[in-house]
Amino acid sequence: MIGFYDYTVVLTYISLASSLIGIFCALSVQPRWAIFFLAFSGLCDMFDGKIARTKKNRTEDEKNFGIQIDSLCDVVCFGVFPIVICYKLGMTHIYSMVILIFYGLAGLIRLAYFNVLEAKRQSESDEAGKFYRGLPITSMAIALPIFFVVSPLLPSQQIFMVILHILVAVIGILFITDFKLRKPTTIEVLITVAVVFAAVVVIVFVWHEWWRLLRFGSLFKS
């Protein structure tokens, strides 16, 4: 069999499987579970690199495969998957689809650029880099769940859609904006995980009824 199947890439494979299940949920008009699987994919992505670096005797082929498979997975998990969710939420106008296409292209460009830099960095050192160049594509796995939690507080469905369009456009722009972003410490990662976990709990167990009571129930397009 071609490919690598050791523990260093298991989380990446699980992340992809989670996102594919989430896409099925989105297409089946199950927004709560779509967001759940998006957040779970983001959780896997947070730790796959750390796990991979625990293997000290990785060959160059294993390192390069890890870089490529991680980015290819991210294209689906945090590029295509959020686009499907946002489209099903109502981003179906021409200008909406332009924003979604831009988001997808920006994510792809960012990941390709990351591959170039990461391959060069890993050829020089096994230590993790200290900064991101531009906003990581996995940021959508944090932004969407948190936005969903606070969205029932918005005064109308129209305001929700306006903010959703702005959110997707701004995150896409930040993907390809050249700025340095310090990588989070372990404590900051754990805090982020806790916040997103809390948001997911609210979405899965409270969000649907909350939205129904506030007449947002028809927002997710079947």
User: Could you give all domains of the chain from N- to C-terminal order, each with its CATH number?
Assistant: 7-213 (1.20.120)
pLDDT at 222: 45
pLDDT at 214: 45
Nearest of 48, 9, 47, 39 to residue 21 by alpha carbon: 39
124 CA to centre of own chain: 28
Q: What letter would DSSP give residue 184?
A: P
Cα separations in angstroms, 118 against 43, 63, 198, 220: 21, 10, 32, 38
pLDDT at 141: 92
pLDDT at 216: 46
Instruction: Please give the sequence-ordered ranges of beta strands (E in DSSP) within the chain, or none if there are none.
Output: 131-133, 180-182
Q: Which residue has the higher pLDDT, 7 or 72?
A: 72
CA–CA dist 214, 59 (Å, integer) = 55
Average pLDDT over residues 34-58: 82
pLDDT at 6: 75
pLDDT at 175: 94
pTM listed for this prediction: 0.86
